[in-house]
Structure 1
Amino acid sequence: MAKKLFLLDAYALIFRAYYALIRNPRITSKGINTNAQFGFTNTLFDLINKEKPSHMAVCFDVEGVTERHTDFADYKANRQETPEDLTAAIPFIKKIIEGFNIPVIGVAGYEADDVIGTLAWQAHDAGYDVYMVTPDKDYGQLVRDGIFIYKPGYQGGDVEIMGPKEVCAKWDIERVEQVVDILGLMGDAVDNIPGIAGVGEKTAAKLLKEYGNVETILENADKIKGALGEKVRNGKDSAILSKKLARIITSAPVEFHEEQFCLKEWNKPALIEVFTELEFKTLGKRILGEEFNVFQTAPQGVQTDLFGNVVEQSQNDKAKAKTPKEEATAATEEPSGFGADKNIHNTPHTYILADTEEKITALVKELAAQQEICFDTETTGIDANDAELVGLSFAYKPFEAYYVPCPADGQATKKILSLFAPLFDAENITWIGQNVKYDMLILKWYGIEIKGGIYDTMLAHYVIEPEGRRSMDLLSAQYLGYEPVHIEELIGKKGKNQGNMRDVAIEKIKDYAAEDADITLQLKHALHPGLQEKAVERVFYEVENPLVKVLTDMEFEGIRIDQAFLADYSRQLEHDARLAEENVYAGAGVKFNLSSPKQLGEVLFEKLKLDPKAKKTKTGQYATGEDVLLKLSHTNPIVADILVYRELTKLKSTYVDALPLLVNRKTGRVHTSYAQAVAVTGRLSSNNPNLQNIPIRTDRGREIRKAFIPRDEQHILMSADYSQIELRIVAAISGDPNMCEAFRSGTDIHTATAAKVYNIATGEVTKEMRYKAKSVNFGIIYGQGAFGLADNLGISRAEAKEIIDNYKKEFNGITKYMDDTINFAREHGYVQTLMGRKRWLRDINSSNFTVRGFAERNAINSPIQGTAADMIKLAMIKIHAAMKKEKLKSKMLLQVHDELVFDALKEEMDTLKPLILENMKAALPLPNDVPVEAEVGFGVNWLEAH
């Protein structure tokens, strides 16, 4: 086997991993941010698994002064403080590396790149191929034949391996030794290496082409004409110092010993321990396989049941058993997190099978005396609109539950369900469930609607802790220290109900299903105090919980789509995309793979030379994203054709061809699934199809809405939409007098803004002024500065700055709101909506300004977006109740952003329209008398209605 040494630049990879997940952090049940640990472990395992190195080491910087700091006191002086979460991650990462039996190396007085440079050259001399694993460009100076930079893929990108040829091409130099000369001339802002003021990368490369290195350039400084010559002469000392600072030392006091660096057997117990603490459940199993089983097992004990069946309990289990009081205390202690040590095998319980009419009748009688009942359904699939009921489980006391099997015979199941009808009809019973909407939807297909209240443990956790994951397994581990039975233990497959549950022995299903009900009941008791402690009871009881029944009805109804229209539109899009593709090839003068960003970049920037300053991605390819192409659209007609091609092919594959595949075989309609507990702001999300992403910004995209149609000729689609709701909320909660007055007087807000910003009368506002003001209105509250506004509007930064400065002057209440909100968050650790929905901001006081800035933007945005989310949810609840009260046959079908879509019976339109408008406007009154407005439209399809 070839001798391959991989040397990892630890901190470069760790920082990269941390920031890659900063928008969606991984937080454990104990509040540990594991972004860095997770990302680094993935990179390390992928390297070992895919590249098959024979030798490896991970190199760290060691705290203390280096020679570079002695030479230049400001070396790396402008670096931000390391984020606190990242600092806390380092001990875990070192444990992980040691668990893989890989040496951790650091040398006092030297940086990691010096250690890597020294080891790389030593190993290369010993006959090794060496790969320096880092995203750091400075390592190019070390590359030789047999020594490479290995840049791991970033956020789904490809790995990039750079040898001498690639390094020289990247820097536009002749020899890799010139990398250090480039850095000496241009400096390095990351490390605060000054270079020569005013000399950038391209100028540095040009000078090196002529003179070869820094020293020769300085010797010939008098021959360099104009301003550049003056810069070089003035920057002589700085260039010499900068080259020294940039040079990686290859003589550090460290030696490459083959045996020390050879990959060995992993220390699996050590890896299990650290993966358990970090809650790397899936990743742990991916790396360690079935050996990653952190849960202890013991023989299962049994109890007595209400039917008089007595099963003896072993003496061992009796000795381990806790009293109910002890169990209740244990459930509320510090959560044990992923390392749960309790499970069905070592925890006393009573799980009872009710499989006869006599037993079911006795169970119903027992349940009828309860005020709260936890229930769960077992089914044949994960799509509630296309699944059959396999069984029901019930619990009302911890550690005790009942399972009622339902046969494949639909009539027999309906008979069983009829026995439970008095319970489901009882308005005084509250039904507890984890994602109870799924179970209610299953029952609805059997003609059963729950009349009583509901309590969803998933939603309780969501309002308590909006970020993070909330599967029952994770919540059970966190709050109960308990590991539930996994479905794959029953059916041998991953994912709930993916196998055929009807083939599983009823005794096994009984334990699995009854345990679900039991654990969910216990979760309710464990979570409930948190609602009061976090002061989120109002948003739970008035918004999230009542919305479940509304969404159940909406998902059950679904919406009809026009499949013939979609088929025609698909053919049209295919034809138009082909024409656009041919136009691109004609404009390029060459055929290539238009779907390949690499080939496209080469055509646009090397063959056509559309942008001499074209940017490249981290993988070394030219950037060809939509933002890049839009800026180039005026330079060559080919760019417009590329954008058209991309839009058409995406519309066709993502929506037009995909929608007919989602039609339910039973109903002939599309039934989207709404998720309440995903978006941290409170917004609903949807999938299969994702309605939030149905395009609306282009004519071709909007055309897709024509495919959504009423159920029959007696119905018409009705669309109700809030008007500028987020801006109204901004005005209301900031109390800015100018903005509030604009809304109260009915003035167009963007026109009013333009008039204030440009200091003119509203009648003098031009279309262009209004457009710019609109961009400021929506941008400034989301952290957009002069650079972003200039880029968005295509104006100079100076003009953008002037617009923003005028905006802040005229609407100083907005600025005060932003400042006050950030200060509140710093003091309290959270922000909240008008309904009390909270967003916890653990990084709001971080010493790292990038991390802190992200939290500050969330502090400003979340109360606005969250209040808008609360408002439309409240509107849905009120409208749903009003429609039921009026006994209307019309149905609410869809919710998309600030819009609601209805299947309106034509004869009910005169009743329905005012009912909708009244409840939308009154759903959540805004402070400072800012009015809420909504509009209603009708049509034979969604596009016409909207």
Structure 2
Amino acid sequence: MKRLYLLDAMALAYRAHYVFISRPLVNSKGQNTSAAYGFTTSLLKLMEDHAMDYLAVVFDAPGEEGTFRETLYEAYKAHREPPPEDLQANLPWIKEIVQALDIPLLEEPGVEADDVIGTLARRAESHGIEVVIVSPDKDFLQLLSPRITLYRPSRRGETFEPITEETFRQTYGIAPQQFIDVLALMGDPSDNVPGVPGIGEKTALQLIQQYGSVENLLAHAEEVPGKRAREGLLAHREAALLSKKLVTIHTDVPLRISWQAFHRAQPDSARLMRIFQELEFESLLRRLREEGLGGQSLPEPPEAEISFAFGPYQPLAVYDPKKANYRIVRNLTELEALLPQLEGHARLSIDTETTSTEAMWASLVGVAISWEKGQGVYLPTPLPDGTPTEVVLRRLAPYVQSVPLKVGQNLKYDLLVLARHGLELPPPYFDTMVAHYLIAPEEPHSLDVLARQYLHYQTVPIAELIGSGKDQKSMRDVAIDAVGPYACEDTDIALQLADVLAEELDRLGLRKIAEAMEFPLIEVLADMERTGIGIDRGVLREIGAQLEAELHQLEAEIYRLAGVAFTIGSPQQLAEVLFKRLGLKPRARTGTGRPSTKESVLEELATQHPLPGLVLDWRHLAKLKSTYVEGLEPLIHPETGRIHTTFNQTITATGRLSSSNPNLQNIPVRTEVGREIRRAFIPRPGWKLLSADYVQIELRILAAMSGDEALQRAFAEGQDIHAATAARVFHVPLAQVTPEQRRKAKMVNYGIPYGISAWGLAQRLRCPTREAQALIEEYQRAFPGVTRFLHQMVEKARQKGYVETLLGRRRYVPNINSPNRAERSMAERIAVNMPIQGTQADMIKLAMVHIYHRLRREGYRAKMILQVHDELVFEIPPEELDAVSQLVVEEMKRALPLEGVPIEVDIGIGDNWLDAH
């Protein structure tokens, strides 16, 4: 059977570019070659794995007249950003490489690549030819048939996921051609396809499963049970029908091309070698010389300056039961036989299988352990012979607890789950996810990504076991024989990764920060999450009633000003009031061409009429009510009666912690209602909350890192730093600084060190840009050390490609030398901001580790329970308040001393978080 492969060139080029976005490939000429390299390696991988004899690479070539979709809908793709400059610069190289490989390259003017691919696929299918479309674009799912398959690239690496008509039907429960209707309802913001407001993918699937098509759904729109979907369908009938036309791939484009034109005959190896030498693709040159693509024998290339090397090409390995020694313990006898085998090892890799991704809500399904490459053992809990979970863990405990080093991926989760089931795992730890976060903070850190990147290994996807979407099942319901190899593979791969990542930490000088801070912090965060914090339901309901009353007042005033009652949360109805009834002029438009009512538009309109400002207030209160007042109560754990937030250690590129479920970092503190929400967070009965907050810590770090004498002196003398800055900027004695001058100086202090522009400062101060520029220049003259330091940070980033904190934590700045001004400016802001914010993150993390261990070592009952920005929150029995307060201040001050600058910590104590703060 002949098979035709059709490659969606731009989608694959975009993917290749962004795979390397955090650490782009740049040759000695300063050219970003990421897209060309990623595209080429993926293409070669496909050719090697699938013996692709018939194929074509299809590019967009819409032409000056546009496409039929733009004729249908003028706003189609109107707001899509052009491809990044670096990607555009790679496209000619990609085309040259494709042609040198003797692969047909198709560009049909006036037609999108999707329609060319769709036409060729249907034409080939009609002649009995199998077709494989290679693209990450889900729009091609509508073309699937018994002879047409879609290969979607994995998020990272070079593997491809085949999607057939059968697997599509199993996943979505509809026919492939009905996916057109799903896409039409969803819309596509990136292409300005309007869709139907209020309908996302899940709802769209349910509706098409029930009604079959957009047309039939519109005919029965009034019967749709969901209010948002029903109102959207009734109000946007024409948009739905238009969207269906826009998302339908045309399969009847008049193309003049013969079957034989797709046949690969003879690659031009000499041309390929010249291209790879020009781009400095050392590993591809090596493959070309050794394998002789096309059978040609190639001479050794002349010496060239190679600025980087990717290493030899290696195909991805997969789980092979004949090679991997993975076992399952099925009864107590086998457990007892296993235990002696766990003794005497320097380290163990451990992983849990559970019923939930939320550690505080998960039930343990099993434990996997590995101690050498290619080996692993899985212990279901309970064992198949009925041995209870507590017995399994009790027998296991002394053996795993005594091992010198525990290895794993996302160990904090496993520590929490095991601790809740009675097994405590003491440090030290080596967490592969955390290690990679230090090595490459902005890249993905999942086990499958790391396995592909460092071990050239493709792990078994969890979806193969539990499925996905509405059909997803619990790991408890999966056969033990399927779970066992999956779990053992996780521990085996984590153990192998630990060796590779340890070498990387050493190479980059990051081992010390890992072992002194990030790895010990895992235990600290696990304990904080397990402890949680109390919530006063009565206060939540009281605040909810208060918000409800304020919302009603705002609604009444908004209706009075509008002269009509309407649904304030409806953008369409609000636009009707603002722009038709009140006659205000629209400032921006949505993708469907309607006047926009987004926040920035309302802020601008608020200067002309009071109603937009009141709508902003209404939105703020409504969000507080839904997110925190109504959103917190369902998160209260039924067993503990407390909230257990999750602290994320590997999310932010600066090193700061974040939190989720709930996100405590975003509780507003600048408004009275926002501050009131903190009143609902309480300690256990009879105890107190203590809040410890670093005072102006980022400015103190700036003073220390820059060595600026004036800034250091102001802190050393205990001056009000904003007043001291105002005195120098406005050239007045400190005692004569006005409140307005201090306010402006405060904006300057927190803006200029982070690269704020004159325009940005003017927006914050609500002053003319000329005045803001003058303030910036005065600041630069007043604090020359700061100005010099900021320039030095940018220059170091240009030279090294990354910036560092005082302790050596890195953040890569790939666009620091970009010819694109916007990208370069953003990179420069990162270059001056990250060393300061990252050093603050390092400081509070070290303080957390030291405080945690002192509290335990010295026998205190007090618990550290929250970390938010520069603040730590503790739950303390009254008799320990004085001693623990002193301990906390001591450790926060000496966590990371700053040369020439004192560190100050504010302490507050109260019966709730608001009073303590």
Map 1:75-94; keep pairs closer than 5 Å. Answer: none
Shift of 1:696: 1.0
Q: Which of 459, 462, 476 matches 1:487?
A: 462
* Larger deviation, residues 626-635 vs 483-492: 626-635
Map 1:738-753; keep pairs closer than 5 Å. Answer: 738-753=710-725
Shift of 1:623: 4.4
The residue that corresponds to 2:473 in the other structure is 499
The residue that corresponds to 2:286 in the other structure is none
Q: Which of 636, 639, 643 matches 2:609?
A: 636
Larger-Rg structure: 1
1:552–1:597 distance in 2 versus 1, CA, 3 Å? same
Which residue type is aligned with residue 767 of structure 2?
Answer: I
The residue that corresponds to 1:59 in the other structure is none
8 Å Cα contact 1:476/1:482 also seen in 2: yes
CA distance in 1, matches of 2:326, 2:563: 73
Unaligned runs of 5+ in 2: 1-7, 47-51, 82-107, 123-130, 137-149, 170-308
Q: Which of 268, 273, 284 matches 2:132?
A: 268
Map 1:175-324; keep pairs closer than 5 Å. Answer: 263-265=119-121, 267-268=131-132, 270-271=134-135, 276=153, 279=156, 290=167
What's the secondary structure of 2:653's corresponding residue? coil
Q: Which of 424, 430, 438 matches 1:463?
A: 438
Shift of 1:629: 3.2
Shift of 1:83: 7.5
Q: Which of 642, 646, 649 matches 1:669?
A: 642
1:350–1:881 distance in 2 versus 1, CA, 3 Å? same
The residue that corresponds to 1:652 in the other structure is 625
Shift of 1:397: 0.7
Size of the aligned set, in residue pairs, is 713
Shift of 1:602: 4.5
What's the secondary structure of 1:268's corresponding residue? strand
Q: Are 1:415 and 2:415 counterparts?
A: no
CA distance in 2, matches of 1:257, 1:353: 53
1:408–1:153 distance in 2 versus 1, CA, 3 Å? farther
Q: Which of 658, 664, 678 matches 1:685?
A: 658
What's the secondary structure of 2:388's corresponding residue? helix
CA distance in 2, matches of 1:677, 1:706: 29
CA distance in 2, matches of 1:389, 1:362: 22
The residue that corresponds to 2:77 in the other structure is 151
Shift of 1:892: 0.7
Shift of 1:708: 0.4
1:421–1:815 distance in 2 versus 1, CA, 3 Å? same
CA distance in 1, matches of 2:795, 2:612: 46
8 Å Cα contact 2:331/2:383 also seen in 1: no
What's the secondary structure of 1:697's corresponding residue? coil
8 Å Cα contact 1:385/1:441 also seen in 2: yes
The residue that corresponds to 2:696 in the other structure is 724
Which residue type is aligned with residue 521 of structure 1?
Answer: L
Q: Are 1:348 and 2:323 counterparts?
A: yes
Shift of 1:347: 6.2
Q: Are 1:834 and 2:806 counterparts?
A: yes
1:82–1:569 distance in 2 versus 1, CA, 3 Å? farther
8 Å Cα contact 1:336/1:481 also seen in 2: no
C-alpha deviations, 1:682-702, integer Å up to 9, x for none?
Answer: 011111101111111111111
Shift of 1:724: 0.7
CA distance in 2, matches of 1:100, 1:572: 65
CA distance in 2, matches of 1:288, 1:470: 32
What's the secondary structure of 1:264's corresponding residue? helix
Unaligned runs of 5+ in 1: 1-8, 34-80, 107-111, 121-129, 133-142, 156-252, 293-332
The residue that corresponds to 2:222 in the other structure is none
CA distance in 2, matches of 1:463, 1:787: 35
What's the secondary structure of 1:844's corresponding residue? coil
Map 1:311-460; keep pairs closer than 5 Å. Answer: 341-345=316-320, 348-407=323-382, 412-426=388-402, 429-460=404-435
CA distance in 1, matches of 2:464, 2:39: 36
The residue that corresponds to 1:567 in the other structure is 541
CA distance in 2, matches of 1:377, 1:83: 41
C-alpha deviations, 1:646-672, integer Å up to 9, x for none?
Answer: 111111111110000001111111100
Which residue type is aligned with residue 76 of structure 2?
Answer: Y
Q: Are 1:785 and 2:757 counterparts?
A: yes
1:257–1:481 distance in 2 versus 1, CA, 3 Å? closer
The residue that corresponds to 2:256 in the other structure is none
8 Å Cα contact 2:153/2:160 also seen in 1: no
Which residue type is aligned with residue 626 of structure 1?
Answer: E
CA distance in 2, matches of 1:289, 1:774: 62
CA distance in 1, matches of 2:375, 2:21: 29
Q: Are 1:549 and 2:526 counterparts?
A: no
What's the secondary structure of 2:120's corresponding residue? coil
Which residue type is aligned with residue 483 of structure 1?
Answer: Q
CA distance in 1, matches of 2:396, 2:439: 33
CA distance in 2, matches of 1:860, 1:288: 51
Which residue type is aligned with residue 472 of structure 1?
Answer: L
CA distance in 2, matches of 1:448, 1:257: 58
Shift of 1:917: 0.5
Q: Which of 587, 604, 627 matches 1:614?
A: 587
Map 1:10-29; keep pairs closer than 5 Å. Answer: 26-27=19-20
Q: Are 1:851 and 2:823 counterparts?
A: yes
1:469–1:286 distance in 2 versus 1, CA, 3 Å? farther
CA distance in 1, matches of 2:310, 2:109: 45
What's the secondary structure of 2:76's corresponding residue? strand
The residue that corresponds to 1:307 in the other structure is none
* Larger deviation, residues 827-836 vs 387-396: 387-396
Shift of 1:540: 0.9
* Larger deviation, residues 456-465 vs 837-846: 837-846
- TM-score computed with the length of structure 2 as normaliser: 0.71
C-alpha deviations, 1:398-419, integer Å up to 9, x for none?
Answer: 0011112221899822222122
CA distance in 2, matches of 1:918, 1:884: 16
8 Å Cα contact 1:538/1:836 also seen in 2: no
Q: Are 1:702 and 2:675 counterparts?
A: yes
Q: Percent identity?
A: 40
Q: Are 1:764 and 2:736 counterparts?
A: yes
CA distance in 2, matches of 1:414, 1:278: 39
8 Å Cα contact 1:424/1:452 also seen in 2: no
8 Å Cα contact 2:63/2:109 also seen in 1: no
8 Å Cα contact 2:649/2:657 also seen in 1: yes
Shift of 1:867: 0.5
Q: Which of 876, 884, 887 matches 2:856?
A: 884
CA distance in 1, matches of 2:111, 2:712: 70
What's the secondary structure of 2:818's corresponding residue? coil
CA distance in 2, matches of 1:732, 1:105: 53
Shift of 1:493: 3.6
Map 1:128-143; keep pairs closer than 5 Å. Answer: 130-132=68-70
1:881–1:607 distance in 2 versus 1, CA, 3 Å? same
Over the aligned positions, Cα root-mean-square deviation in angstroms equals 3.8
- TM-score computed with the length of structure 1 as normaliser: 0.69
Shift of 1:826: 1.0
Shift of 1:603: 3.0
Shift of 1:451: 2.6
Shift of 1:734: 0.9
8 Å Cα contact 1:731/1:930 also seen in 2: yes
Shift of 1:91: 8.3
